[in-house]
Structure 1
Amino acid sequence: MTLKIRLARGGSKKRPYYQIVVADARSPRDGRFLEKVGSWNPMLAKDNPQRIELNADLVKTWLEKGAQPTDRVLRFLNEAGLAERPARSNPDKAKPGKKALERIAEKKQKAEDAAAAAAEASAAE
């Protein structure tokens, strides 16, 4: 049985509230879980201490038992000093895609054609 420390969504429409729970990896997101270890309220300001609440003792216990945190929960645990999140680097993420490069080239070509046409029209006068 694979255990995950993950988020279970609560709250109403457009007003999210998440519980940080330990659950079997096969159970649904908002379904059965083993234990609640914290909560996250993304509607609060980032500097508000009630935005993320964790029970450090429970989290440590479940991590020792082999529970794997999801990426978002691992960020919270890293901020709290309970787990280490390795830095990631994706230098290609900011580069434009193939279609965007094609659009840029097409736009540049149109601008050059318009400049050439304007030069010919002024030279003809």
Structure 2
Amino acid sequence: MAVSLRLNRKGTKDRPYYKIVAVDSRKRRDGRFIEQIGTYDPLLEGVNYTIDLAIADKWLAVGAKPSETVNSMIRKARTAAAASA
């Protein structure tokens, strides 16, 4: 099973909200997912995402492929975590 880390759209028309999820790559965008690893709200200013890096690293270690958007969020979260440590 090929797992990918990608966004799952929630919310209403003109008010999008996304879950960052680990999902079988053959599933639909908003279909069933394996595990939620974070959230993303594009309508917020500043840091508009949360991500659990431990869970993301677990999925990346077993071969999950992140989408471009999720990959950039993971990089930003790692940079912020390194700066605060």
Using structure 2 for the length normalisation, give the TM-score: 0.89
Residue 64 of structure 2 is aligned to residue 67 of structure 1: yes
Kindly indicate which of the two structures has a greater share of residues assigned to helix. 1
Offset at 1:80?
A: 1.2
Give the counterpart letter for 1:6 in structure 2: R
Kindly indicate which of the two structures has a greater share of residues assigned to strand. 2
Paired with 1:77 and 1:54, the residues of 2 have a C-alpha distance of 7
Partner of 2:34: 34
CA-to-aligned-CA distance 1:7-50 (integer Å, 9 cap, x gap) = 000000000000000000000000011000000000000x2x4x
SS in 2 for 1:28: coil
Give the counterpart letter for 2:70 in structure 1: V
Residue 76 of structure 2 is aligned to residue 76 of structure 1: no
Residue 9 of structure 2 is aligned to residue 12 of structure 1: no
RMSD over aligned Cα atoms = 1.1
Q: 1:57 aligns with which of 54, 59, 64?
A: 54
Offset at 1:54?
A: 0.4
Paired with 1:30 and 1:67, the residues of 2 have a C-alpha distance of 18
Taking the TM superposition and a 5 Å limit, the aligned residue runs for 1:84-103 are: none
**CA radius of gyration, larger in:** 1
Stretches of structure 2 lacking an aligned partner (at least 5 in a row): 80-85
Paired with 2:71 and 2:26, the residues of 1 have a C-alpha distance of 19
Considering Cα pairs closer than 8 Å and 6+ residues apart, tell me whether 1 or 2 has the greater RCO: 2
Stretches of structure 1 lacking an aligned partner (at least 5 in a row): 83-125
Using structure 1 for the length normalisation, give the TM-score: 0.61
